[in-house]
A and B are shown apart, each in its own frame.
Chain A
């Protein structure tokens, strides 16, 4: 815990020094604010536009969280299907890779066409880019159970369902969390990308992506910076939330979560 505080203070110190350096550079070089706003300018933009900034942040957070949650449910179900047989995996797995390699910026306009602009489209974009890592990791977790553990269950005449619920699923939880951690990071990117194409432009419905488009069109560079910072913070919050859940569910028994609590 003490180590945590020291690490945090170090990080904050570096951050403060960088801000200071940035402020000084902007002042010394007389850069115009539309090229590179000074930290103080960004701060002023945050304060001035606070309500709309928070509103955009909330919308993007909702879309990203919705996409992530949906991908966890769907990914788990698909992984359960994949775990049933090697034959199913061989037949369907290539499509998971397709899911990962298809450029999302090319798919987003399609979704916009099919579903129409708005939160639903954006959530779908986030959902699609979150799905592959969840499926891949969970499937791996479900099928990588040590053979002797299966033998142990068979010796007790365990049913297929018992082997699934009492052995494969709990065994796959750490791998599921690896998938969720990756997905959490990219869910925010997915939502913002989605908003660039399919975000709503109605007042009070535009998320960070839409606001970023708006701010860059208006050359409000200081607000643009504020939005970028907000998006980054959102990604961090998601990541740490997942880390916490992972620790909560796994610290009793799994190494990955234990080392987190000891570091």
Chain B
């Protein structure tokens, strides 16, 4: 995975308000280069989910401009995948048919779909549950299915809204490592929302700390830990010191 200087997502002077209530996001300027892994962290209600919705085009900005690959978010959708906090699987579909959903909606033929889904299931280690229904899976496995479904359409941009927030710490750590492994093999840029400082440091190349009321960028912290990152990374003094400085930044915006 190489980070190029080419900006893939560019937000200029973006503000968002719902109706006549005070703005949720104000004057956001953010440029994300191809290949970056950017985490958004900040107190609850500061507009992290709203920011992701704006980048995905699910919601539109009140002012300012957003470009993804030089296009409006809605026009760029074919290249964007969104992973939600709950796995949002369709309970009436098997794992295989859940992973193939995006391809199916985009009219990819049955044979090609089958091939792609099979190789993806192998990639995320779900081959043995290919024909199970979501209710038979653990929380961690459901999330894996959700990740596989998002990757199936070969996205260039992956938006994730606290995808592992509901999982226990061990499962979350393992899925974090898997996510980075997938990133080595594939070519996507990530915008990742999390509440966990350690998770943000482990995954990101850059952390954006948001301040609340109105939501705005308070601080940006580059994470230059080398890849590949493994469980050993979490024990390094560099990791510890980054966690400390992000935590401090977060405390700063929370008390303000």
Residues of A within 8 A of B (CB): 146, 148-149, 151-158, 162, 166-167, 170, 173, 252-255, 258
Q: Within the assembled complex, what's the spacing in Å between the Cα atoms of A149 and B87?
A: 10
Most chain A CB neighbours (cut-off 10 Å) among B86, B91, B134: B91
Apart from the given pairs A148-B86, A151-B82, 16 other A-B contacts in the complex at a CB distance below 8 Å:
A151-B84, A152-B82, A152-B84, A155-B77, A155-B81, A156-B102, A156-B106, A156-B153, A157-B78, A166-B104, A167-B90, A252-B92, A253-B92, A253-B134, A253-B135, A254-B92
Chain B's interface size range is 20 to 34
Task: Assess the A155–B58 pair: CB atoms within 8 A.
Answer: yes
Task: Assess the B88–A146 pair: CB atoms within 8 A.
Answer: yes
Task: Assess the B58–A154 pair: CB atoms within 8 A.
Answer: yes
Give me the 9 closest cross-chain CB pairs, A-B, nearest first.
A156-B105, A253-B91, A148-B84, A253-B92, A156-B102, A158-B105, A170-B92, A155-B82, A253-B133
30 A-B residue pairs with CB within 8 Å: A148-B88, A149-B88, A149-B90, A151-B82, A152-B82, A152-B84, A152-B88, A153-B105, A155-B58, A155-B80, A156-B77, A156-B101, A156-B102, A156-B106, A157-B78, A157-B106, A162-B105, A166-B101, A166-B104, A167-B90, A170-B90, A170-B92, A173-B92, A252-B92, A252-B133, A253-B92, A253-B133, A253-B134, A253-B135, A255-B135
Asked if B205 is an interface residue, CB under 8 A from chain A, the answer is no
Q: Within the assembled complex, what's the spacing in Å between the Cα atoms of A152 and B104?
A: 13
Q: Within the assembled complex, what's the spacing in Å between the Cα atoms of A167 and B82?
A: 17
Give chain A nearest CB distance to B16 CB in angstroms: 16
Asked if B194 is an interface residue, CB under 8 A from chain A, the answer is no
Give chain B nearest CB distance to A148 CB in angstroms: 5
Q: Which residues of B contact A157 (CB under 8 A)?
A: 77-78, 105-106
Near A by CB (< 8 A), chain B positions 24-79 give: 56, 58, 77-78
Q: Within the assembled complex, what's the spacing in Å between the Cα atoms of A167 and B92?
A: 10
Most chain B CB neighbours (cut-off 10 Å) among A155, A170, A252, A255: A155
Give chain A nearest CB distance to B49 CB in angstroms: 10
Q: Within the assembled complex, what's the spacing in Å between the Cα atoms of A162 and B103?
A: 13
Residues of B within 8 A of A (CB): 56, 58, 77-78, 80-82, 84, 86, 88, 90-92, 101-102, 104-106, 133-135, 153
Task: Assess the B92–A151 pair: CB atoms within 8 A.
Answer: no
Give chain B nearest CB distance to A100 CB in angstroms: 29
Give chain B nearest CB distance to A48 CB in angstroms: 51
Q: Within the assembled complex, what's the spacing in Å between the Cα atoms of A156 and B90?
A: 15
Q: Which residues of A contact B134 (CB under 8 A)?
A: 253
Q: Which residues of A contact B58 (CB under 8 A)?
A: 151, 154-155
Most chain A CB neighbours (cut-off 10 Å) among B58, B78, B105, B134: B105
Give chain A nearest CB distance to B21 CB in angstroms: 19
Closest residue to A170 on the B side, CB-wise? Answer: B92
Q: Which residues of B contact A153 (CB under 8 A)?
A: 105
Q: Which residues of B contact A148 (CB under 8 A)?
A: 84, 86, 88
Q: Within the assembled complex, what's the spacing in Å between the Cα atoms of A165 and B191?
A: 31
Give chain A nearest CB distance to B146 CB in angstroms: 9
Q: Within the assembled complex, what's the spacing in Å between the Cα atoms of A152 and B90?
A: 11
Q: Which residues of B contact A254 (CB under 8 A)?
A: 91-92
Give chain B nearest CB distance to A249 CB in angstroms: 9
Closest residue to A152 on the B side, CB-wise? Answer: B88
Closest residue to B103 on the A side, CB-wise? Answer: A156
Q: Within the assembled complex, what's the spacing in Å between the Cα atoms of A114 and B135?
A: 51
Give chain A nearest CB distance to B154 CB in angstroms: 13
Give chain B nearest CB distance to A142 CB in angstroms: 15
Q: Which residues of A contact B82 (CB under 8 A)?
A: 151-152, 155
Closest residue to B59 on the A side, CB-wise? Answer: A151
Closest residue to B135 on the A side, CB-wise? Answer: A253
Give chain A nearest CB distance to B130 CB in angstroms: 15
Closest residue to A150 on the B side, CB-wise? Answer: B58
Q: Within the assembled complex, what's the spacing in Å between the Cα atoms of A149 and B92?
A: 13
Q: Within the assembled complex, what's the spacing in Å between the Cα atoms of A158 and B82?
A: 14
Known A-B contacts A154-B58, A155-B58; the reply to A166 vs B105 at CB < 8 A is yes
Q: Within the assembled complex, what's the spacing in Å between the Cα atoms of A255 and B80?
A: 33
Q: Which residues of B contact A149 (CB under 8 A)?
A: 88, 90
Q: Within the assembled complex, what's the spacing in Å between the Cα atoms of A252 and B133?
A: 7
Q: Within the assembled complex, what's the spacing in Å between the Cα atoms of A199 and B86?
A: 55
Give chain A nearest CB distance to B210 CB in angstroms: 21
Give chain B nearest CB distance to A167 CB in angstroms: 7
